Amino acid sequence: MTTVVAVCRSFRDRALARFFHCFPCLSDPAQRPSLGLKVTLVMLHLVIVGILFLFDDNLIERTKKEPWYTALYLSLFSATLVQYFITSSSSPGYVVDAMRAVNEANMMYQKSSMASKQPASSKNGSLIVTVEGSQSYDQGSNPSSWTKLVMDMYPPGTPIRSCSCSYCNVEQPPRAKHCHDCDKCVLQFDHHCVWLGTCVGRDNHCKFWWYICEETALCLWTGILYISFLTANISRSWWKDAIMILLLIVLSISILFLLLLLLFHSYLVLTNQTTYELVRRRRISYLRQVPERVFPFSKGVCRNLYNFCCVRSSIYSLEALPLPEELEEKASPYTCLDVLSCRCC
C-alpha cells in the first residue's frame, strides 16, 4: 500500500512539474489569483460584446450597410485588450534595476578610466540617470554609486537607515515604496493593481492611464449600443431583455468607476503625484511638513505632462526632494502677474 501511495505521489509531482514548466505563470502561488482575474476580465469583455452581436440583428444589418462603424468598434475593442496585456506585462520600474544599472555604469567607468583615458560613454550603452532638482548623471560623466546618488536626493544629515528598505535592504530614492505583493521596491509607486497583476509605477503609469482611457471609451460605446438595442427591441423576447438589462447594469457600474478613476489619475498626472503620496501623505516622512495644497514634485502642468508621456524608458529619472526655498515659492498664492507668465504651466 505504501508503495502505491509513493508511486502516485511521484506521478503527481512529475505531472505538476511538467504542467508548471509549460505554464510558468502558474508555478508561483502569488500569481495564480492574478491570472484568474485576468481570465475573468477578458471573458467578461468577450461575453458582453459577443452577446451584443448575437442578439442585435439591427447591428448586423448596420454592419452590412456601414462596415466602417463596426470596424471602428472592433478596433477599439482589440486595442483595449492589447493595451491591457501590454500594461500588465510591463515593469513598473524597480529600484533594484535602477541600482544595478547605476552600479554597473560606475564600475565600467572606473575600469575604463584605469585602462585608458577615453571616456566611459563609448562602453556604457544607453544608460542615462537624471536627478531632477539636484544634478544629472549621464553616460558621459563620472557616475556615482547608488548609495551616494540616493543620499544626495535627501536633505543633508539624513541617516541612511531612514531611506533604506527593511525588506529589500536597498536604498530607496524619494517616492519609492516596497510593494508586499511584488516583494520589490518600486520607483514612484502608485498602487498595486490586482486586475493587472502588477504594480503601477514610474515606467508603466502612462500605459495604465491609456488603458483606462480606452476601457472607458469602449464601455461608453458598448453601453450606447445596449441602450439602442433595448429601445428598439423591448418586450419582443423577455429573456433577451433580462440578459441585456443585467449586462447593462454591469456596464453602468463599470463606466462610473472608470470615469472616476480616469479623472483621478488625470489629476495625479497634472500635479505630478501618486496615489500612495496622496492617500498616505501624513505617513510619509518627507511630506509631513509640506502644506496640504502644495505639490512638492510638480513642475507645472506642461512639464508634468511632458515627463509623463515623453520620457524615454532608457532614462532613470529620479526626483530629489525640493529645497525649502522651492516649497515656499510653490506655497505662495498666485497673482495676476503669475497667471500672465503661466506660472502654473
Q: Each residue of 60-100: pLDDT tens digit?
A: 888 888 899 999 999 999 999 999 999 999 999 999 988 88
**DSSP-derived secondary structure letter, 166:** T
Report the sign of the C-alpha dihedral through residues 181, 182, 185, 187, in that order: negative
Quick one: cell of 162?
Answer: 531612514
CB 272 within 8 A of CB 297: yes
| Residue 321, pLDDT score | 84
| Residue 7, pLDDT score | 52
Quick one: cell of 70?
Answer: 463596426
Cα–Cα distance measured from residue 185 to residue 276, given in angstroms and rounded to the nearest whole number = 13
Quick one: cell of 118?
Answer: 577615453
Q: Give bridge partners of residue 317 from the DSSP assignment.
A: 130
| Residue 4, pLDDT score | 52
CA contacts within 13 A on the Cβ side of 212: 19
- With 0-12 CB in 10 A as exposed, 13-18 as middle and 19+ as buried, what is 228? middle
3-class SS of residue 219: helix
| Residue 20, pLDDT score | 42
3-class SS of residue 193: strand
| Residue 209, pLDDT score | 96
Q: Residue 315's CB: how many other CB atoms inside 10 A?
A: 14
Supply φ then ψ for residue 124, to 5 degrees. Answer: -85, -5
Q: How many helices, marked H, and strands, marked E, lie in the chain?
A: 12, 7
**157 conformational bin, left if phi > 0, alpha if psi -120 to 50, beta if neither:** left
- Please give the full DSSP string across 304-339, using - where no structure is assigned: HHHHHHH--TTEEEEEPPPPHHHHHHHHSPP-HHHH
Q: Which of 345, 331, 342, 266 is nearest to 296 (CA)?
A: 331
| Residue 58, pLDDT score | 84
Quick one: cell of 222?
Answer: 458598448
Cα–Cα distance measured from residue 178 to residue 164, given in angstroms and rounded to the nearest whole number = 10
Q: Each residue of 129-153: pLDDT tens digit?
A: 666 654 444 444 455 688 888 888 8
Quick one: cell of 170?
Answer: 536597498
- Please give the full DSSP string across 80-130, using - where no structure is assigned: HHHHHHHHHHS---BHHHHHHHHHHHHHHHHHHHHH-SS-GGGTSTT-EEE
Q: pTM for this one?
A: 0.82
Q: Is 336 an annotated catalytic residue?
A: no
Catalytic hit among 193, 199, 206, 219: 193
> What are the residue ranges in the chain where pLDDT is below 50?
16, 19-21, 23-30, 118-126, 134-141
